[in-house]
A and B are shown apart, each in its own frame.
Chain A
């Protein structure tokens, strides 16, 4: 059976990637299994300078999901290149760097700097507040999605993935804007903004009050958005959101995704991403396919 897929000219041994922020830079989970068996890993979101992230409680649980407000704690792009990338490169799977910023020039400089390295692709997290636009996230308005994509693209020599936020009016407008800005691929969804409170102490649970929701509870929203985006753009789409099993992963491919990212599942079960890879063939058999590429976009809707 064939599970190999091609994403922006990069060959992946299977379509299973890990989602940014849930897998560190691969070190921890490589103690549980050979991370090289995955299609690839997306590293923790990077910024130009190291960041401490948010204070206080950073995680809460909800039915079939979690909320987090880590706040982009990371060692900074230079420490990533020096201390993490050489290790990631040796794993034997695709390596994707995830980058974030506070102003457009941050994204330009991140794209430029990461292009000088041997990462396979660069994914931009545009769900971050734009400090020059009163803190509204870059990813909210289609105009700003196009702007930040086009700016980064000019400085980018690697395939550029734009990761869309689901907290928007119409996801297809934003996907189109990313494509127009020059995105080589689109990934979605990032987390859905939510909150959790403690009734008895009358306080929010998260230090940051609100947080991003992820896990199986967001899967229906993610599937819907992936389907809509796949019908709208012609660049490849990477499906993310609540993928816990090989069956979940194939559902996203059925909706048109070329590859998928597994996030919260790793947090719940250290073996999750590997189990998903290992479960693909059995599910493909049930679908009556020999090649995973046969399933892509085959949804009859």
Chain B
């Protein structure tokens, strides 16, 4: 992990309330599913914000963020060339798999999964991706995901692709004979609960990427804990990716 001085190279609206930001700097290597702590330009909001690494190389890194509160609102005002600090890569990330992989994302939870699909594909895996969004207007990254596996876009309102939640699309494929070795999921808690139930009921190793409010992001302050096998563990350092059997999202 490193604290990197970066410059914004782009900060574009995907739709109202969602942005993709790329930054340039001296980037260390990362593992898929790891995250960054990003400084906000609001001086009085002193904590950094955690965001999944969408993709990165040695010079640049991309994030997708939802405008939620004051910190992310402030990020939307960053322009080309603005300077900020980004601490990364943080957390454990998803394991690499070369077997049959099901990637399940919901909303902004798809952000850290792109590099998961990419790296598994590169390792020779058969990757199927199930990404869920509220509606077609909220769909993200589909062009890129489609390069790394068979993509099923799901919408809650049926405005595009599979009408329903992504775990249901995966379940339906499994009923048709798809037998993943591993499921990797990131998204809202209800989605993760459903995927946990599905994976465990079929005996498939399932990994979930959890969210918690964070302070330091590096494991020192113990403010980001969740229960893992009954004990408080740090989401930022021991996670954010946990085996579904260890956690209750």
Whether A and B are associated in the same complex: the answer reads yes
Q: Is A24 touching B1 in the complex (CB atoms < 8 A)?
A: no
**A59 and B214 in contact (CB under 8 A), knowing A53-B225, A264-B46?**
yes
Complex partner residue of B220 from A28, A269, A271, CB under 8 angstroms = A28
Q: Does A52 contact B (CB under 8 A)?
A: yes
Bound complex: CA of A65 vs CA of B44, how far in Å? 8
Q: Identify which of residues 187-224 in chain B touch chain A, using a CB-to-CB cut-off of 8 Å.
A: 212-216, 218-224
B side interface size, CB within 8 A: 27
For residue A194, give the distance in angstroms from its CB to the closest CB of chain B.
Answer: 15
A60's nearest neighbour on chain B, judged by CB, is B213
CB–CB A59/B224 < 8 A = yes
Which of A55, A70, A268 is in CB contact (< 8 Å) with B223?
A70
Contact, CB under 8 Å: B222 / A268: no
- How many chain A residues sit at the interface, stated as a range, is 20 to 34
Chain B residues with CB under 8 Å of A267's CB are 47, 215-216, 220-221, 223
Establish whether residues B47 and A268, one from each chain, have CB atoms under 8 Å apart when the complex forms: yes
Cβ-based interface call for B227 (8 A): yes
> Inside 8 A of B225's CB, which chain A residues have their CB?
53, 58, 73
A59-B223 in contact (CB<8A): yes
Closest residue of chain A to B87, judged by CB?
Answer: A270
Q: How far is the CA of A23 from the CA of B219 in the complex (A)?
A: 9
A165 at the interface (CB under 8 A from B): no
28 pairs, CB–CB < 8 Å, chain A vs chain B: A21-B221, A21-B222, A22-B216, A22-B221, A23-B220, A28-B219, A32-B1, A32-B2, A32-B3, A53-B225, A55-B232, A57-B213, A58-B222, A59-B223, A61-B46, A64-B44, A66-B46, A66-B215, A68-B223, A70-B223, A264-B46, A266-B220, A266-B221, A268-B47, A268-B48, A269-B85, A270-B87, A271-B3
Q: A55-B227, A66-B215, A267-B220 are in contact. List 17 more A-B contacts (CB 8 A).
A: A23-B220, A24-B219, A24-B220, A28-B237, A29-B218, A32-B1, A32-B2, A32-B3, A52-B232, A59-B215, A61-B47, A64-B46, A66-B47, A68-B221, A73-B232, A266-B216, A267-B221
